[in-house]
Structure 1
Amino acid sequence: MAIATTDPLLGRLVDGRYEVSARLARGGMATVYLATDRRLDRDVAVKVMHPHLADGVDGAAFVSRFRREARAAARLTHPGVVAVYDQGLDGDTSYLVMEYVPGTNLRHELHTEGTLSVRRTLDVLAQVLAALAAAHRKQLVHRDVKPENVLVVADPDATDDEPEDGDGPAGGRVKVADFGLARAVTEVTSTATGTILGTVAYLAPEVVTSGACDARTDVYAVGVLAYEMLTGTLPYPGEPPLQVAFHHVHDDFPAPSGRVPWLPPELDRFVASCTARNPQARPADAGAALEALELLRAGLDDDVLDLRADPPPRVADDADDAPRGPDEDDVDDGGTSAVDEIPTGFFQEVSAPGRATDLLVEQPTAALDDGSRRRSRRRRVVAWVLVLLLLVGGGGYSTWWWFDDGPGAWTTVPTGIAGVPADDAEQVLGQAGLDTSASRAFHDDVPAGAVVTTRPAPGERVRKDGSVEVVVSRGVQMLTVPGELVGAHRKQAAAALEDAGFGLAPVVREHDDAAAKGTVLGVSVPEGSRQRHDTPVRLTVSDGPAPVQVPQEVGKEKDEAVADLESLGLRVTLAEPEYSETVDKGHVLSQTPEHGATAHRTDTVTLTVSQGPPLVAVPDVVGMKSAEAHDALEKAGFQVEENSYLGGLLDTVRFQDTTGKAPKGSTVTVTVW
Structure 2
Amino acid sequence: MDTTVADPLVGRLLDGRYRVESRIARGGMAAVYLAMDIRLDRTVALKVMHRSLAEDPDFVRRFIGEAKSVASLSHPNIVHVFDQGTDGGHVYLSMEYVPGRTLRDVLRERGRLPAREALEIMIPVLAALGAAHQAGMVHRDVKPENVLLSDDGRVKVVDFGLARAIEAGRQTRTGVMIGTIAYMSPEQVTSGVADARSDVYAAGVMLFELITGRQPYDGETPMSVAYRHVHDRVPAPSSVVPGGPVQLDRLVLSATDRDPARRPADATALLVAAVETHRTLPRDAGPKPAPPNTTAPAAPVPPANPTLVQSRTEMLTSPGAAAAPAAPFEGHGARRRVRPIWFIVGLATVMVAAIAGTGWWFSEGRYTTVPDLLSINISVAKAEAEKQGFAVKIGKPENDKELGEDKVLRTDPESGREVVRGSVITLIPSAGPLKIAVPNVVNLSEADARSKISEAGLTAGAVSRVPSDTVQRGLVLRTSPQVGTRVKEGGTVQIVLSAGQLMPDVSEMQCDQAEAFLRGKGFTPTVVQQTDDAQPGTVIAQSPAARAEITAGQAVQLTCSKGPDTGFHWPWENPQDPQNVQPGQALIPIPDVRFKRVGDASRELRTAGFKVHVRKIAGSGAVVAENPLGQAPAGTRITIWH
Q: 1:118 touches 1:305 (CA, 8 Å); kept in 2?
A: yes
Rounded to whole Å, the distance in 2 between the matches of 1:492 and 1:109 is: 40
SS of equivalent residue, structure 2 residue 79: coil
**RMSD between superposed Cα atoms in Å:** 6.0
Q: 1:31 touches 1:50 (CA, 8 Å); kept in 2?
A: yes
Q: Name the amino acid aligned to 2:325.
A: D
Q: Are residue 545 (structure 1) and residue 432 (structure 2) matched? A: yes
Residue 218 of structure 1: CA displacement?
1.1
Match of 1:254 among 236, 239, 264: 236
How do residues 68-467 of structure 1 correspond to structure 2 at under 5 angstroms? 68-154=65-151, 164=152, 172-187=153-168, 194-236=175-217, 240-248=221-229, 249-256=231-238, 258-259=240-241, 261=243, 263-300=244-281, 303-304=283-284, 309-311=289-291, 313-314=293-294, 425-426=319-320, 430=323, 434-435=324-325
Q: 1:546 to 1:634 in 2, by over 3 A?
A: closer
SS of equivalent residue, structure 1 residue 224: helix
SS of equivalent residue, structure 1 residue 216: helix
Rounded to whole Å, the distance in 2 between the matches of 1:204 and 1:495 is: 48
Q: 2:136 touches 2:165 (CA, 8 Å); kept in 1?
A: yes
Rounded to whole Å, the distance in 1 between the matches of 2:596 and 2:45 is: 75
Q: 2:207 touches 2:252 (CA, 8 Å); kept in 1?
A: yes
Rounded to whole Å, the distance in 1 between the matches of 2:17 and 2:122 is: 37
Q: 1:13 touches 1:20 (CA, 8 Å); kept in 2?
A: yes
Q: 1:23 touches 1:32 (CA, 8 Å); kept in 2?
A: yes
Please give the TM-score of this superposition, normalised by the length of structure 2: 0.53
1:584-619 per-residue CA deviation (whole Å, 9 max, x = no partner) reads xxx999979535x66699xxxxxxxxxxxxxxxxxx
SS of equivalent residue, structure 2 residue 187: helix
| Greater alpha carbon shift after TM alignment, 539-548 vs 206-215 | 539-548
Residue 231 of structure 1: CA displacement?
3.5
Name the residue aligned to 2:33.
33
Rounded to whole Å, the distance in 2 between the matches of 1:44 and 1:482 is: 20
Q: 2:182 touches 2:225 (CA, 8 Å); kept in 1?
A: yes
Name the residue aligned to 1:516.
407
Q: 2:123 touches 2:274 (CA, 8 Å); kept in 1?
A: yes
Q: Name the amino acid aligned to 2:83.
A: D
- Between the two proteins, the alignment pairs up a number of residues equal to 450
Q: 1:260 touches 1:309 (CA, 8 Å); kept in 2?
A: no
Residue 173 of structure 1: CA displacement?
0.8
Query: Structure 1 vs Structure 2: percent identity of aligned residues?
Result: 37
Name the residue aligned to 2:51.
51
Name the residue aligned to 1:533.
none
1:71-123 per-residue CA deviation (whole Å, 9 max, x = no partner) reads 43234232222223333444443333333333332222333344445554333
Rounded to whole Å, the distance in 2 between the matches of 1:35 and 1:483 is: 24
Consecutive unaligned residues of structure 1, counting only runs of 5 or more, are: 155-163, 165-171, 316-366, 368-375, 381-405, 420-424, 437-453, 457-461, 500-508, 526-538, 556-581, 602-625
Q: Name the amino acid aligned to 2:53.
A: L
Q: 1:37 to 1:186 in 2, by over 3 A?
A: same
Residue 630 of structure 1: CA displacement?
12
Q: 2:439 touches 2:483 (CA, 8 Å); kept in 1?
A: no
Q: 1:50 to 1:466 in 2, by over 3 A?
A: same
Rounded to whole Å, the distance in 2 between the matches of 1:482 and 1:192 is: 39
Q: 1:110 to 1:667 in 2, by over 3 A?
A: farther
SS of equivalent residue, structure 2 residue 284: helix
Consecutive unaligned residues of structure 2, counting only runs of 5 or more, are: 330-334, 353-362, 391-399, 417-425, 443-469, 471-477, 492-509, 522-536, 539-568, 577-587, 598-620, 632-642
SS of equivalent residue, structure 1 residue 545: coil
Q: 2:29 touches 2:50 (CA, 8 Å); kept in 1?
A: yes
Rounded to whole Å, the distance in 1 between the matches of 2:249 and 2:377 is: 45
Rounded to whole Å, the distance in 1 between the matches of 2:178 and 2:387 is: 38
| Greater alpha carbon shift after TM alignment, 465-474 vs 34-43 | 465-474
Rounded to whole Å, the distance in 2 between the matches of 1:23 and 1:483 is: 30
Q: 1:232 touches 1:311 (CA, 8 Å); kept in 2?
A: no
Q: 1:47 to 1:410 in 2, by over 3 A?
A: closer
Which structure has more relative contact order (CA 8 Å, sep 6+)? It is: 1
Rounded to whole Å, the distance in 2 between the matches of 1:123 and 1:286 is: 15
Residue 660 of structure 1: CA displacement?
12
Q: 1:238 to 1:34 in 2, by over 3 A?
A: same
How do residues 492-531 of structure 1 correspond to structure 2 at under 5 angstroms? 511-513=402-404, 515-518=406-409
Q: 1:14 to 1:660 in 2, by over 3 A?
A: closer
